[in-house]
Amino acid sequence: MKNIMLVCSAGMSTSLLVTKMQKAAEAKNIDADIFAVSASEADHTMEDKNVDVLLLGPQVRYMKAQFEAKLKDKNIPVDTINMQDYGLMNGEKVLDHALQLIENGE
């Protein structure tokens, strides 16, 4: 089971992307828990849930260094979602990126 957390400003704009990523995971037979939270909920959610990778929506990419510092000791990779993939709601590409980050442990 891969746990993929998406973070955006309100947690709502990424909900469609989550749905598309879940469909892509099902099509590839990948067992994944993909969910979106607001930036203000992210810390609390990570206390309660096991997270394998954290992807930031383009609107909160300025928070990347902050999350990297918080998650450094936990070995959880952090990256931003490609703006074009986000704009096109390309769930498959975003899922592939998340899985690559987990695999590489970056």
CATH number of the CATH domain containing 78: 3.40.50.2300
Catalytic residue among 8, 21, 95, 98: 8
Tokens matching residue 17: 């992307």
pLDDT score recorded for residue 88? 95
Q: Residue 26: give the domain boundaries.
A: 2-104
Residue 91, phi then psi, degrees to nearest 5 = -60, -35
pLDDT score recorded for residue 106? 55
pLDDT score recorded for residue 11? 64
Phi/psi region, residue 86 (left: phi>0; alpha: psi -120 to 50; beta: rest), is alpha
Question: How many domains is the chain partitioned into structurally?
Answer: 1
pTM above 0.85, yes or no: yes
Q: Catalytic site residue 32?
A: no
pLDDT string in tens for the chain (106-residue length): 999 999 998 867 788 999 999 999 999 999 999 999 999 999 999 999 999 999 999 999 999 999 999 998 999 999 999 999 999 999 999 999 999 999 997 5
